[in-house]
Amino acid sequence: MPKIIKNREIIDDQWTTLAEPEQELETTPESTNIIVNLAYWLENKEALTARKGKVGVLLLGSDEPETFQEELKHIDLIAVDFPKFGDGRGYSISRILRERFNFTHEIRAVGDVLRDQLRFMERCGFDAYALRADKDMNEALASFASLSVEYQSDVLEKRPIYARRP
Amino acid sequence: MYAYKEYDQLLLNERVEQFRDQTQRFFKGELSEEEFLILRLQNGLYVQRHAPLLRVAVPYGMLNSTQVRKLAHIAKTYDKGYAHISTRQNVQFNWPKMADVPDILAELASVQMHAVQTSGNCIRNTTIDQFAGVAVNEVADPRPYCEIIRQWSTFHPEFAFLPRKFKIAVSAATDEDRAAIRFNDIGLRLVENAAGEIGFNVFVGGGLGRTPIAGSLINEFLPPKHLLSYLEAVLRVYNRYGRRDNKYKARIKILVKALTPDVFRDKVAEEWKHLVNTALDLPDAEVKQMQECFPEPAYEALEDNPAALMSAKKDSSAFSIWYRQNTDNHKKSGYRIVTLSLKPISVAPGDVTTDQLIAIADMADQYSFGEVRTTHNQNVVLADVKQELLYELWEKLKSFDFATANIHTINDIICCPGGDFCALANAKSIPIAEQIQRKFDDYDYVYDIGEISLNISGCMNACSHHHIGNIGVLGVDKKGKEFYQVSLGGDSGFDAAVGKIIGPSFKEEEVANVIETIIKFYIDQRIEGETFLMTYQRIGMAPFKEKVYAKNN
Ligand code: SF4
């Protein structure tokens, strides 16, 4: 079973991403937790929520949580795709999900996810990371703690530095 | 100036170790070129034509003498004995070894300096009016706000991977914009409203490069309390909707233009609704605390125009000319702002040697409370010099080649490293600057020409802001040959104008002659009291064009 980092620990991934849900769903057991793309979710949400397994939704950088905020209460996980390391749209998406829409389930970073961005992601509300396959997860865990001083207000720490200063 | 608190220093030390680890992983092959590229760019490290280029941040252009001595030490130990002041008030080293960079960063950290976010697609060093805090006409000292912005933008978790680089400039002077704020991604101008309260004009979407455009005013009065929430709203809209498919269309100016400034403003307002009145609010107490981090130096009660100054001006016409060209009024009587020219003839504009850096530090200690400023015109400023000591200082400046009385003249050329150093260049720029300086070597004539700006960029990236020089020169490549395009009428001030191209480009050896023709024509045409820009604005491009190309044929 593939591994991911969740809450700073390496665990077995409990979810299966269906790149082509139309074809793959038939052969996927009822109880498997699945991740499908947003368009498929929007068209098939009744059937999907009726399944035994949980359903997560994969968002692209261009997807806007504002346009489907009503759906969020039926969604058990959101995966945000980073097509490239340097494409930072996912950071804003995650903050909006957490801070504006109070989404409390897992938000997972997928795609070109490397250790040097994990703490930034965490501060923006991500709690799970599917590291790029060629990277060492144990080493990556160390990078969460490389910078201990953070000036800004973020998802985890509302108070900016000036409100925390002794 | 702002002195680091414990946590500022801790962060910097950790950053040095983080980058050391990243560099080691790169050398061990654990990081690919491309992965390391993004990481090193976040730390000001480029790979240039000859060697890596390390860009060191000088937050809003302020340095103390200890930092300047450290830069001198780095120039001597790790480079070829000189450093370069950039048009973003930063300092660049052109010849460090990649493997030495972690050590250089550790040296910098020991004096509260770093290279964080001096490159890459993130929020860059905030630039400022180099006379901030000492200028005569200022609404308030803008530096405390710049430090607040520095802290907010340093390792901001949401905005480390923007579509493209992002530059903020701040100015508070009422009479002049010395920071070219309308040609930044965000320009903030401190103003006072009718009720006597202070707030910001917010301009968005200005910039140069391939699509030069002046920023649009999207907020006429932003109270300081909301500074960070509003900046965060602008950045979030940009981060989500800025183009990422084409790096030439990725700056915020393209987004603002595509949406129109009005629609962009509405989008920001919509986003801001969710951010205002949250933890991002900046309480008055915090602004006040930050203001206390910029205490006024221990000025003495002095009179303007002391006898020592008056007699020196009378006795030495060279001194008196220097006084007129290279010094400016100070808000305190008995003091003067001194600009050191880094542009004597045949030196690459903005270059300083190790010895010169040490001399600057010594003079700052002796004459200016130990503080030094860099300017976006690539000069250096000693901001608080007693008028009675100006003559003594001038003698020293001369011996270090800092006293060329050419500030704001045609010889005060802003020039990028160009083809001699920069991998992106289409053409050389430094030799063009030298050619022009040689052409205008008669200083009586230079002063008669009066106030003018001349900017030379080696390519469309416009690092020297050629679009907003009164005269701009741009290196272009024509079938492998270096040519130069000349533009007129650029204005970096409040009126913010982009220069217009005069016509077909010129060969390298023609450039100085063309500039001479343009200047001669202006002198013929000007009305008493007009600067070059005023004459150009009055008579327009056509007569200049006719003159220049008629002569060429
Ligand atoms: S303008 Fe072009 S040539 Fe000059 S420094 Fe910038 S990128 Fe290099």
Those residues whose C-beta lies under 8 Å from the C-beta of residue A74, and which sit 6 or more positions away, are A45, A49, A55
- The predicted pLDDT at position B47 comes to 75
Distance B505 CA to ligand 1 centre (A): 18
Protein residue whose Cα sits closest to atom 2 of ligand 1: B459
The number of folded domains in chain A is: 1
Distance A109 CA to ligand 1 centre (A): 36
B433, B416 contact by CB (below 8 A): no
Beta bridge partners of B507: B483
| The CATH number, out of the four listed (3.40.50.10070, 3.10.20.30, 3.90.480.20, 3.40.50.1100), of the domain defined by the range B6-109 | 3.90.480.20
A61, A102, A110: which is closest to B239 by C-alpha?
A61
Q: How far is B282 from chain A (nearest CA, A)?
A: 9
B285, B487, B342, B375: which is closest to B90 by C-alpha?
B375
The CATH number of whichever domain residue A72 belongs to comes to 3.20.20.70
- The predicted pLDDT at position B30 comes to 85
CB contact under 8 A, B7 and A146: no
Q: What is the per-residue pLDDT across A76-115, written as a single tens digit (0 to 9) for each?
A: 999 999 999 899 999 999 999 999 999 999 999 999 999 8
B157 to chain A: which residues are within 8 Å by CB?
91, 119-121, 123-124, 150, 152, 154
Mean pLDDT, chain B, rounded, equals 94
CB contact under 8 A, A116 and B22: yes
Q: How far is B164 from chain A (nearest CA, A)?
A: 10
Q: Please give the residue of chain B at the shortest CA–CA distance from A156.
A: B157
* Among A98, A102, A112, A116, the residue to mutate for chain B (most B Cβ within 10 A): A116
- The predicted pLDDT at position B551 comes to 55
- The predicted pLDDT at position B409 comes to 95
A97, A71 contact by CB (below 8 A): no
Residues on B contacting A at a C-beta cutoff of 8 Å: 5, 7-8, 10-11, 14-15, 17-18, 21-22, 35, 38-39, 121, 151-152, 154-162, 228, 236, 239-240, 244, 274, 278-280, 282-283, 286, 289
B261, B218 contact by CB (below 8 A): yes
Q: What is the per-residue pLDDT across B93-133, written as a single tens digit (0 to 9) for each?
A: 988 888 899 999 999 999 999 999 998 899 999 999 999 99
- The predicted pLDDT at position B87 comes to 82
pTM to 2 decimal places: 0.94
| A166–B contact, CB cutoff 8 A | no
Beta bridge partners of B382: B338
Strands (E), B454-544: 454-457, 471-478, 481-488, 500-501, 506-507
Q: What is the per-residue pLDDT across A124-135, written as a single tens digit (0 to 9) for each?
A: 999 999 998 888
Do B134-291 and B307-399 have matching folds?
A: no
A156, A102, A85: which is closest to A125 by C-alpha?
A156
Residues contacting ligand 1 via CB (< 6 Å): B 416-418, 422, 424-425, 457-459, 461-463
- The interface pTM score, or ipTM, of the predicted complex is 0.97
CATH architecture of B134-291: 2-Layer Sandwich (3.30)
Distance B432 CA to ligand 1 centre (A): 14
In angstroms, the CA B127 to CA B142 distance is 11
Instruction: Mark which residues 61-80 of A lie under 8 Å from B by CB.
Output: 61
Task: Locate the domains of chain B by residue range.
Answer: 6-109, 134-291, 307-399, 414-552
Q: What is the per-residue pLDDT across B60-88, written as a single tens digit (0 to 9) for each?
A: 999 999 999 999 999 999 999 999 998 88
Q: Which of B48, B167, B208, B422 is the best mutation target for the ligand 1 pocket, counting ligand atoms within 8 Å of the beta carbon and taking the most?
A: B422
Sign, Cα dihedral of A26, A30, A32, A38: positive
CATH architecture of B414-552: 2-Layer Sandwich (3.30)
Those residues whose C-beta lies under 8 Å from the C-beta of residue A105, and which sit 6 or more positions away, are A75, A76, A77, A78
Distance B325 CA to ligand 1 centre (A): 29
CB contact under 8 A, A152 and B157: yes
- The predicted pLDDT at position B42 comes to 79
- Written out in words, the top-level CATH class of the domain with range B307-399 is alpha beta
CB contact under 8 A, B18 and A146: yes
Instruction: Mark which residues 109-138 of A lie under 8 Å from B by CB.
Output: 114, 116-117, 119-121, 123-124
| A98–B contact, CB cutoff 8 A | no
B289 to chain A: which residues are within 8 Å by CB?
162
Q: What is the per-residue pLDDT across A12-25, written as a single tens digit (0 to 9) for each?
A: 999 999 999 999 99
Vertex B142: Cα angle to B139 and B147 (nearest 5):
160
In angstroms, the CA B459 to CA B396 distance is 37
Domain ranges, residue A137: 3-163
CB contact under 8 A, A146 and B160: no
Q: What stretches in chain B show pLDDT beneath 70?
A: 48-51, 551-553
Those residues whose C-beta lies under 8 Å from the C-beta of residue B242, and which sit 6 or more positions away, are B162, B163, B164, B250, B251, B252, B254, B255
- The predicted pLDDT at position A166 comes to 67
